[in-house]
Amino acid sequence: MDKLKKMIKNFIQITDHLVDLIALILILSMMSLSGYMLWDSNQIYEKADAKIYEPYMPTRNHSKSFKELQQINNDVIGWLKVNNTHINYPLVQCENDDKYMNTDVEGNYSLSGSIFLHAENNPHFTDFNNIIYGHHMEKHMMFGDIGEFTNQNFFNKHHYGNLYYDGINHGIEFIAIMQLDAYNERAFNVCISEEAKQEYIKLIDSNSLYKRNVQISPNDHLVILTTCTSDMTNGRNVLVGKITNKTYPEKIKKNKGIGIDILNNNTYLELILILIALIIAVFVKKRKNNGKEG
Q: What's the confidence (pLDDT) of residue 267? A: 55
Q: What's the confidence (pLDDT) of residue 53? A: 83
User: What mean pLDDT comes out for the span 143-156?
Assistant: 96
Q: What's the confidence (pLDDT) of residue 233? A: 87
Q: What's the confidence (pLDDT) of residue 6? A: 64
User: What mean pLDDT comes out for the span 169-198?
Assistant: 95
Distances (CA, A) of 246 to 105, 129, 157, 252: 27, 19, 19, 19
Which one has a higher pLDDT value, 63 or 103?
103
The CA distance from 59 to 286, in Å, is 64
Give whichever of 18-22, 30-34, 232-236 has the largest mean pLDDT.
232-236
Is 80 exceeded by the pLDDT of residue 11? Answer: no
User: What mean pLDDT comes out for the span 247-276?
Assistant: 56
User: What mean pLDDT comes out for the span 48-64?
Assistant: 73
Beta strands of 136-198 (E only): which ranges? Answer: 160-165, 168-181
The string of pLDDT tens digits covering residues 101-133 is: 999 999 999 999 999 999 999 999 999 999 999
DSSP state string for 118-134: -TTS-TT--SSEEEEE-
Q: Evaluate whether 163 touches 90 at the Cβ level (below 8 Å).
A: no
Phi, then psi, of 265 in degrees rounded to 5:
-60, -35
Q: Is 19 helix (H, G, I), strand (E, B) or coil?
A: helix
The string of pLDDT tens digits covering residues 70-99 is: 999 999 999 999 999 999 999 999 999 999
User: What mean pLDDT comes out for the span 238-251?
Assistant: 92
Q: Which H or E run includes 225?
A: strand 222-229
